Structure 1
Amino acid sequence: MATSPSPAIFLFLWFLCASNFNLGLCTLKVIHCNKNDQQALLVFKQGVVDPTGLLSSWSIHSDCCQWSGVQCDNITGRVTGLSLPCPYYDYYGNYYDKSKCLGGQINLPLFQLEFLESLDLKENDFKGIDLCPTHANHNLSRPMSPQECEKFSKLLNLDISYNNDLHVGDLLWIFHLPSLKSLHLSGIDLHIQNHWVRLMTELPSISELRLRNCQLGNIHPPLGWYVHSSSLQSLDLSYNFFDSRMFKWVSNLTSLSHLTLEGNHFRGQIPDTVLRLRNLKSLGLAYNEFNGSIPEWLGQYEFLERLDLFVNLFSGPIPTTLGNLSSLIFIDISANLLNGSLPESLGKLSNLEELRVGNNSLVGVISENNFAKLWSLELIDFSEINIVFDLDSNWAPPIHLKFIHMYGAIMGSIFPSWLYSLGSLHYLNVSSSKISSIDPDKFWSLARRTYAYDVSNNLIGGDLSNVWLNSSWIDLRNNKFKGGLPRLSPKVAILNLANNSFSGSMAPLLCHPMNRRNKLAFLDMSHNQLSGELPDCFANWQSLVYVNLGNNMLTGKIPDSVGSLSALQSFHLPKMNFLELSLRPLKIAET
């Protein structure tokens, strides 16, 4: 028979709780949401369009600290954070359907949460925000007083980026946030704003400012040329309409450690005034039109960790001085007009994780010396370069190497033996590399260890009827594979076997038993020599979206199981008289 706990036990638990209260370990006291904060949130909700019910938990019948997106201080119960990004959008405001996001107005009571430190409403569909208007703003019945503005002066982080149609007023209300450290306004049209430059100079605590894709253009002297900030560390002005003149004032921001200016209209050489930013850890200049040589003085950055010059017009050799960047973790100089050989000095970068030099006119030989001290290397991109790989068959590549992009590279007819030893490989792309010979046992063992691989557009042959494929993404098209079809694991999501010489029935691939639901969504087996009837096994492949069986020798009828594929959008068959017996209309094409 069970017995009740003695009073002594309750006394001991109370003492333990009380003695640890200052350490935050007492859990007997329940903290409730502050009533003023709750009322302000409910007023904000009234002005919000909420098509998916994201705010359905916001009710007077529940504690607001338990509401969706609300964070409270666990001692005072005051609201300190509100995080309501649209879950249907990615980081850059792409995709899907804005009608599923929060909309309406961002109204004043939300900013009257006097202990609010973080506000995240990014990627939604809000239309207006007028929180601290001046006397010239007539959108509200009355202007806010300085005392009301001070009520939200504790705000540290504000992210309203990618509310693409958001009207933010004249930006003067932001200057009533003196504690602001991080401000994200990316994706909002600010081209008519006259005050955005002041954000860098008149917010005393600002350390991170993101104004990506804001339709901004050059600022004119004298205002822009004398911009200074002692606190700004991260500045993102990507995908605007600046030209090289803006470096005259950016170079004055000597506290910067992260500068991202990709996708603007920069031409000519990188101004050496950038060297004044001695504390840079990250420099992003991709998708511009810089030309001439990559400056050798870039090798003077003692703390630089990321250098991104992707898609420009740089020419000449890669500077050997880049090997002096001992802190470098990431370098991308691919898709330029660079020539010469790959400097062995880059092989000294022991902290380097990603080396991207593809799509250039590089020549010469890559040997073990190019990888001498790249102990941290995880990704290489040597795609479409004319460099010859001269690596000893017994050479052990960096043990962390996980991603290999070498499509269109010159590797010889034999699949490189050093690749077989990679035990942690996630992704391999050696397409269009004129490979004709593999070691079947070693190659398919390597393939089974990868998440995705692409060996398309080569001359590789072999019988795959006894091969088990289990990577998520597999591209074997345009080779010389023959014999029966391979078998698939449920993990395979994309499989392209097009333009080979596979023959026989489709049953080995489609009809073998599965121990769980498979993920196959894309299947292309067109341009082969498959024959016989379509097997009635499609019910096992409910994730299929696209199927292409065109240019084969299949006969008979379309099996009933094809009609059960609820996700199917496109089904291509050989040019012949198939009888459609599916249970619903399908997009069936004859090829």
Structure 2
Amino acid sequence: MADRNPNPNSLRLQLLLLQLLLSNSLELHPLDRDSLLDFKSQLSDHTASLSTWTGDPDCTTWTGVTCSNRTGRVTRLSLPGLSLSGPLHPSLSRLPSLQTLDLSSNNLSGTLPCFNAAVRSLAYLNLSRNSIAGGVPTCIASLKALSAVDLSSNGLRYSISPRLVFSDRLILLDFSANSLSGPVPARVGPGLLFLDLSNNGFSGEIPVELTEMNGLQSFSIAGNRLTGEIPATIGNLTSLQSLDLSRNSISGSIPLSISGCFQLLRLKLDHNNLSGVLQPGIAALDGLRFLDLSHNALAGEIPLPLAGCRSLESVDLSSNGLTGELNGAVEKWTELRELSVAGNRLSGPVPGWAFSFPSVRSLDLSGNNFSGPIPGDGDFNASADFNDRGDPAPVEILVIDIVDRQLRFNYVFKSTVGIDLSGNLLSGEIPEWLFGLPGLEYLNLSYNALVGQIPADLKNMGRLKSLDLSHNSLSGEIPAAGISGLRELKSLNLSYNRLSGLVPREEKFYRFFPGAFAGNPGLCVEYNSEGCRGAAEAEGMAVGAVEGDKGLVSVWACWISGVVSFYVSVVAMFLAAPARNFILPSSFSMAEM
């Protein structure tokens, strides 16, 4: 007969398992459970992300919900990027212990609820990247524990009430990418470290009161309708690390007082109406890494004192009225990775050191009056980063971490690897080293007076995507084998030179029609086994007998192609300078900082 006495060891094991099960469960407070279910009842949950919200008393089974171990009250509700749609139910205001609310990157609509003082613990509010409309209610400032508010990328409208003033606890406020209008709010939070009002419809001048927030470390009001001048008191922001006033209509000169922002790492004043000379006071910003003053009306030379900005990594001075030569101040920017002075009135020779920065990836000197030969000889020291580091090339990313009430900037700096010397007065032959840079992704030497032949050896340019040598006086034959080996090449323009010889009957060349070989009377494009035709004539002919699965191109299509190509060529001759920028962009745009 089996022993009916329980095994003491078995009982202990069962009790231990029961204790573990109980310790892993956490009872959700019934009032908070009801509030969450009310919130869910108004939502469309297309991906069934809230399928675990069934009313189970165990808080640990609810997706995105965190509860207090002591009270069972909800302390955190985090549901980002779940494709939830519908309005924000006011039941969220009935979660008295809620500290973090993150519903970002959904499709929530309606107006912003007036979170009342009952949510006294709410410290972090993130409703960014939704479809919330209406205005910003002033009652949100009654939440005294708030330290971060992110309402960016929504449909918020109207002006911000001057009564919207947060407590000293708030250190981050992001209203960017909405449709807010009216004057810039002057006193939204005395303790702010990060303020982003960019990409809205704010108008008027920058309030002087903002320059009294001397703890501010990052301020962006880019992409608005601001006028007036940069306040002379801007130098009061001694803690500022990032300042972005770009894409407005701000006028006047850059104030000398900006040197007071001695901790600046990033300064963007591009796409405004700034005038005057480039202030040497910027030289006091010796920790500056990113400087963008492009698309203004700045004049004069690049001041030599800027040689002190040795930390500069990205400099964009394009589309201004700068004159003089590319002087030695630039040479001292030894950390340089990206430089554009395109669209100015700079002159003189291109110095050899312009290509020898140890980390440069993008160099744009186009649209100036540089003259003489492209520097280079057997001892030329090409930049290391042009020699294929194998890095991908997304835009630069600025990541901001808030730790101990300090902003810490981390970034991944990437840009398209290339050289643009187009639209100058350069002469002489193209140096061999320029066609031996493995990391190069684009090369534009168009609209100059270059002579000589295109080097036959292009095997090192395996990453080249765009090559433009048009509108020069290059002669000799096209290096067919070299160009055929450029497997990533998407854009080729050799038009309006003095090239001669045969363009092979290969699809790799025909895909660049029409226009790639126009304006070279000596070129003969192989048409069929019987011979070849001039470049202009061949452009309108079939590509016709392309073999394989593509079959034959109809005679009518060939005839139409010829007519269109003819007129394109005529228009290009009469509108050469505008066509350069409209049809074949001279460079890849610089990475957005």
| TM bucket normalised to smaller | 0.5 to 0.7
Structure-2 separation of matches of 1:530 and 1:410: 34
Change (3 A) 1:583 1:184: farther
SS at match of 1:235: strand
How much has 1:217 moved relative to structure 2?
Answer: 1.2
Aligned partner of 1:240 in structure 2 is 178
Pick aligned residue for 1:507 from 476, 480, 498: 480
What is the identity, as a one-letter code, of the residue corresponding to 2:446? Answer: R
SS at match of 1:304: coil
Q: Does 1:119 align with 2:87?
A: no
Q: Does 1:574 align with 2:539?
A: yes
Structure-2 separation of matches of 1:214 and 1:47: 20
**Deviation per residue, 1:9-41 (Å, 9 max, x gap):** xxxxxxxxxxxxxxxxxxxx9xx997999xx9x
Change (3 A) 1:167 1:230: same
How much has 1:530 moved relative to structure 2?
Answer: 5.7
SS at match of 1:299: helix
How much has 1:254 moved relative to structure 2?
Answer: 0.5
Aligned partner of 2:516 in structure 1 is 549
How much has 1:431 moved relative to structure 2?
Answer: 0.8
Q: After TM superposition, list the pairs within 5 Å mapping 1:160-171 onto structure 2.
A: 160-161=104-105, 163=106, 165-167=107-109, 171=113
How much has 1:154 moved relative to structure 2?
Answer: 5.3
Q: Does 1:523 align with 2:496?
A: no
How much has 1:159 moved relative to structure 2?
Answer: 4.5
Aligned partner of 2:404 in structure 1 is none
Q: After TM superposition, list the pairs within 5 Å mapping 1:102-113 onto structure 2.
A: 109-113=62-66
What is the identity, as a one-letter code, of the residue corresponding to 1:188? Answer: N
SS at match of 2:159: coil
TM-score by length of 2: 0.66
Aligned partner of 1:472 in structure 2 is 441
Pick aligned residue for 1:206 from 139, 142, 147: 147
Change (3 A) 1:159 1:431: farther
Aligned partner of 2:217 in structure 1 is 281
What is the identity, as a one-letter code, of the residue corresponding to 2:151? Answer: R
> Does 272-281 or 497-506 show the bigger shift?
497-506
Change (3 A) 1:424 1:465: closer
**Deviation per residue, 1:494-531 (Å, 9 max, x gap):** 3333434364234232345x8xxx43333344444364
**Deviation per residue, 1:88-109 (Å, 9 max, x gap):** xxxxxxxxxxxxxxxxxxxxx5
Confirm or deny: 8 A CA contact 2:303 2:329 kept in the other structure.
no
Confirm or deny: 8 A CA contact 1:548 1:573 kept in the other structure.
no
Q: Does 1:416 align with 2:351?
A: yes
Change (3 A) 1:521 1:418: same
Change (3 A) 1:449 1:419: farther
Aligned partner of 1:352 in structure 2 is 288
Confirm or deny: 8 A CA contact 1:550 1:575 kept in the other structure.
no
What is the identity, as a one-letter code, of the residue corresponding to 2:170? Answer: L
> Does 198-207 or 378-387 show the bigger shift?
198-207
How much has 1:316 moved relative to structure 2?
Answer: 2.5
Aligned partner of 1:191 in structure 2 is 133
Structure-2 separation of matches of 1:535 and 1:576: 12
Q: After TM superposition, list the pairs within 5 Å mapping 1:441-452 onto structure 2.
A: 441=377, 445-446=382-383, 448-449=386-387, 451-452=417-418
Change (3 A) 1:265 1:527: same
Structure-1 separation of matches of 2:88 and 2:166: 28
Change (3 A) 1:385 1:167: closer
What is the identity, as a one-letter code, of the residue corresponding to 1:555? Answer: V
How much has 1:404 moved relative to structure 2?
Answer: 0.4
Q: Does 1:460 align with 2:396?
A: no
Alignment RMSD: 4.5
Aligned partner of 1:230 in structure 2 is 168
Q: Does 1:386 align with 2:321?
A: yes
Change (3 A) 1:284 1:47: closer
Q: After TM superposition, list the pairs within 5 Å mapping 1:396-415 onto structure 2.
A: 396-415=331-350
Number of corresponding residues: 468
Change (3 A) 1:458 1:583: farther
How much has 1:550 moved relative to structure 2?
Answer: 4.8
Confirm or deny: 8 A CA contact 1:494 1:521 kept in the other structure.
yes
Aligned partner of 2:100 in structure 1 is 156
Structure 1's unaligned 5+ residue stretches are 1-28, 61-76, 80-108, 135-143, 560-571
SS at match of 1:292: coil
TM-score by length of 1: 0.66
Structure-1 separation of matches of 2:480 and 2:121: 66
How much has 1:297 moved relative to structure 2?
Answer: 0.4
SS at match of 1:377: coil
How much has 1:352 moved relative to structure 2?
Answer: 0.9
**Deviation per residue, 1:147-168 (Å, 9 max, x gap):** xx46xx556361423x4x4325
Aligned partner of 1:493 in structure 2 is 465
Aligned partner of 2:205 in structure 1 is 269
Structure-2 separation of matches of 1:525 and 1:177: 67
* Identical-residue share of aligned pairs (%): 20
Confirm or deny: 8 A CA contact 2:232 2:255 kept in the other structure.
yes
Structure-2 separation of matches of 1:535 and 1:511: 11
Aligned partner of 2:302 in structure 1 is 366
Q: Does 1 or 2 have the higher relative contact order (CA < 8 Å, sep 6+)?
A: 2
Change (3 A) 1:312 1:168: closer
SS at match of 2:282: helix
Confirm or deny: 8 A CA contact 2:117 2:143 kept in the other structure.
yes
Change (3 A) 1:351 1:533: closer
What is the identity, as a one-letter code, of the residue corresponding to 2:442? Answer: W
How much has 1:391 moved relative to structure 2?
Answer: 6.2
SS at match of 1:199: helix
Pick aligned residue for 1:296 from 232, 240, 247: 232
Structure-1 separation of matches of 2:349 and 2:112: 64
Aligned partner of 1:94 in structure 2 is none
How much has 1:186 moved relative to structure 2?
Answer: 3.3
SS at match of 1:362: strand
Change (3 A) 1:118 1:130: closer
Change (3 A) 1:463 1:476: closer
